[in-house]
Amino acid sequence: MTYPTLFSPLKLGPKVARNRSWMSAHATLLVKDHLFTDAHIAYYAERARHGVAVITMEAMAVHETSLPYRGKALAFDPRMVPQFARIADAVHAHGALLLAQPWHRGRETNSVASGAPVWAPSAVPCAVYREMPHVMTTADIDAIREGYRLSARHARDGGLDGVEVHSMSHGYLLNQFLSPATNHRKDAFGGSLQNRLRLVMEIIQATREECGPGMIVGVRINSDDGHEGGLRPDDWAEIAARMTGSGLIDYVSCSHGTYLNRMLIYPTAPERHGYQMEATRRVREAVGDVPVVGVGRIVTPAEAERHLVSGDCDFVAMARALIADAEWVSKAARGEDIRPCVGANWCMSSIFAQAPIACIHNPAAGQETELGSGTLTPAPRPKEVAVVGGGPAGLRAALTAAQRGHRVTLYEREAELGGQVRLWSRAPSRVELLGIVEWLERQVAKAGVTIRLKTVATEEMLRAAGHDALIVATGARGLRHGWTPLRPEKWDGSILPGADQPHVLSYLEALREAAPPRGRVLLYDGLGGRQAVVTAEYLAAHGAEVEFVTWLGQPAPDLAASRDWAKTYGMLRRMGVRFATDLELVAIEGRSVRLRDLYTKEEAVREEVDHVVLALGAEAQDGLFHALSGTMEARLIGDALAPRRVDAAIREGELAARAI
């Protein structure tokens, strides 16, 4: 066994976990009517089937005042009991343990979905939601305690293995009671640590009373709040010691961060893998023999084994790694190639859009019934399939078609595969994105796909080759016309004055240049997505003096979905990038660029500009498809269909190959 500690069993309260892997709780938006669904069953059962030892289901509200959005399960609702039983049956059939996670967000929400005031121990608004909370009364505290009790009772009656008491991590309600930064009370629940811990211990006591000795009871805490005035590693080590000293809990699960610094909770790349482990180790040293669960961008079995062997933790918990590959544990046991989590946070972006859980390069995530393991059927008749374009869409299509038994030839005009993903990975913070295409490259090679690099697939070539089916994934070309969505009437083929000069490039051209543009670069963003910030980083990393200009009210607002806008802005500012907003691009006159304030209409001129780089979108390259679609079975996917995101390209590649 390559990872003997990872695959060793361990006692967890009254039960035994078959190995040291743990799926930590995370939102899925698979909830309907505040209840779990068949999609939930499939989602958790898929991970259990492939070897995960312990699964903590997503956080469930203990009270109606903790309703950040309508897609939230209610642990206090008695209708949840039969739902728990259905999921437990499915997960237990594969040998995993299943835990509920009752929780309350406290001030870290708003009243829009619930229609009720936000509750908190003190009138301190959240830095994200900024809504003034209602200061909880003694009756409110009683209601929360009762909500946790009911949640534990329903978990017991539903046949779950245990309960993980949540809200002590990530700045949620019980964290707000524990932290002197957010608890300014003068009663029995404020002041000293003993008082601030009072409600937590009462909830743990109530949970144990409901669960009895036959169920697991654990807690989810921080090992570092990560902000001034908050609880730091030594504070959490003391809190954990007091909790475990009560004899009421069977494990401690550690995380980091609050909504003041959410990149400590679920950081995008780049972030040091295992970044939370130093603080988690302090908690482990403080709690004696009680098992400790650690998290923190642990994405490979080798990383997991290292932290277990070194004594940082007793279990390794993962969320995003298991979203990226439901077979992570079984592949680790067999020594197979795991689809890596690349830290893109598309899972978070999907939730932000109120869509079910998804992964940037695992199309089955959240769609296990339709696309999960065992759903891919052999082709009724193997065909000769041509895939044109070796970006993520083409690679996924080629792989799935080959796995179904088709004979696949992949044509790529460049000298290497990867498409735009490979271009984006040239920015230092995006290097991990290479994991998407490198994993696909390895899989298509194993599947026997014939790959022809530096080959322009023409109509004549494809007709002559005698292919039965064609998948066109020829991508898109960056737009250089200079117009933003502010001027829809100009998107008729006209050119912004000066945009056709040789020192004006699209963002894709700038990323593709063998010698990156240097000197003074004005990067103009009309999209608000990640394209422009990746390009700005790439240029600045190669010595350019970059000004990032946009007609939008803030740079790259779409990064709010992945929660890393502050992290990205800080990185770019440290690299010397300057920002200017609310400015329309008017003209490029030699090395002068004219801009107009969107609201005052005043014009400003940037002089001595060496290069202008335009992030204004891309144009689908679909000519080959339209030329051949009437003569053979043909499908158009990815950016060649409509320039979008990696997740769309890979999903469409999967679906197209399944349809042949």
Q: Which residues are catalytic?
A: 172
What tokens appear for 84 in the block? 């728990």
DSSP assignment, residue 428?
G
Reference 418, options 511, 510, 347; nearest CA is 511
Q: Within the chain, how many helices (H) and strands (E) appear?
A: 22, 27
DSSP letters for 565-579: HHHHHHHHHHTT-EE
SS3 360: coil
Q: Are strands 407-411 and 476-478 parallel, antiparallel or unpaired?
A: unpaired
- In angstroms, the CA 623 to CA 633 distance is 16
* DSSP codes of every residue in 630-641: TTSEEEE-GGGT
Three-point CA angle 353, 356, 362, nearest 5°: 105
Residue 302: both structure tokens together: 């080798």
627-636 b/e with 16+ CB inside 10 Å = b? Answer: ebeeeeebbb
Q: DSSP string of 77-99?
A: -TTHHHHHHHHHHHHHTTT-EEE
| Neighbouring C-alpha atoms within 13 Å toward the C-beta of 327 | 13
Q: Which residues share a beta bridge with 256?
A: 224
Q: What is the Cα–Cα distance from 556 to 569, expressed in whole angstroms?
A: 9
Query: CA dihedral defined by 197, 203, 207, 208, rounded to 10 degrees?
Result: 40
Helix (H, G, I), strand (E, B) or coil at 478: strand
Per the DSSP assignment, residues forming a β-bridge with 98 are 55
Spatial contact of 51 and 140, defined as CB atoms under 8 Å apart: no
In the numeric block, which tokens belong to residue 497? 């004055």
Residue 121, C-beta contacts closer than 8 angstroms, at least 6 positions apart: 106, 135, 136, 173, 176, 177, 182, 183, 184, 185, 189, 190
Please report the sign of the dihedral spanned by the C-alpha atoms of residue 525, residue 527, residue 532, residue 533: positive
Q: 270 CB contacts (<8 Å, ≥6 apart)? A: 343, 428, 429, 431, 432
88: Cβ–Cβ under 8 A, 6 or more apart, which residues?
A: 98, 158, 159, 160, 161
Give the DSSP per-residue string, 259-319.
Answer: TTSGGGTSPPSS--TTTTHHHHHHHHHHSTTS-EEE-SS--SHHHHHHHHHTTS-SEEEES
Which of 273, 281, 334 is CA-nearest to residue 299? 273
